[in-house]
Amino acid sequence: MVHGREHLRRIPESTIRRLPAYLRALENLKCLRTTSVGLGEATGYSSEQVRKDLAYFGAFGTRGVGYDVRDLGQQIRHILGLDQGVRAVLVGAGHLGTALVRYTQVSSGDVEFVAMLDNDPQVIGTTIGGIVVQDVRQMVSVVKEQTIRLAVLTVPARAAEEVAQDLAKAGIGAILNFAPVPILTDQHPPGSVLVQSIDLTLELQALAYFVSEHDVFSPA
């Protein structure tokens, strides 16, 4: 079947966010065909959710026959743009940044870090995971020259907004932000850079609620 860009634009973000999980499950399956029930069990989503998500791009499992594992995986990789490869830059080559680059090199999934940037003279010029860390002041030219569209931000909170603004100007399309602060909240036009924030402290604090003993509540 042929997909038009207009068609894909209508896929909800929540569905897009589940597609990588389906893809991983398909790549791990040791079989030729599977069903929405099988994909659901492998990913933790309901079979109804799987069916609904896949129907958005015209993949309909045939009752009793199911989905072709290899074909469905290729379709999802194509939709996500992974078949073209995705070049990413990491800004902030500290402990967390280094761990993230090494982690993605092991379980890559077609997203490849091609550049790392930092502002620490002790770190600039060192090699981490085969990548030479460059001066963050060269960020705009690095992003433009290598046509990088995806950035991962592991800089301190105080530096995050300025770096994010510069990344936006350089043409970055999406930022995975680990700095513990909201970034690019005031975009013109809104949403031109997609920001996905992962704030480890906030995650841990929210989980604290669910494990704390709420037996006695004293007057506030």
The mark string for 192-211 relative to its own copies (x by CB under 8 A, - otherwise) is: --x-x-xxxxxxxxxxxxxx
Q: How far is CA 194 from CA 13, 92, 95, 150, 197, in A?
A: 11, 19, 25, 10, 10
Among residues 29, 37, 111, 159, the one that binds its own copies under rule CB under 8 A: 111
User: Under the criterion CB under 8 A, does residue 12 sit at the interface with its own copies?
Assistant: no
User: Under the criterion CB under 8 A, does residue 70 sit at the interface with its own copies?
Assistant: no
User: Under the criterion CB under 8 A, does residue 219 sit at the interface with its own copies?
Assistant: yes
Q: Whole-number minimum distance, CB 6 to its own copies, in Å?
A: 10
In whole angstroms, give the CA distance from residue 150 to residue 90: 9
Q: Whole-number minimum distance, CB 216 to its own copies, in Å?
A: 9
The residue (of 39 and 117) whose beta carbon lies closer to its own copies is 39
Question: For residues 133-192, which are near its own copies according to CB under 8 A?
Answer: 149-150, 152, 172-174, 176, 180, 182, 185
- Bridge-based pairing of strands 111-118 and 86-91 is parallel
In whole angstroms, give the CA distance from residue 217 to residue 197: 32
Question: For residues 28-67, which are near its own copies according to CB under 8 A?
Answer: 41-44
In whole angstroms, give the CA distance from residue 198 to residue 95: 16
- Nearest Cα to 109, choosing from 129, 132, 83? 83
- To which residue do tokens 């991983």 refer? 24
The residue (of 137 and 215) whose beta carbon lies closer to its own copies is 215
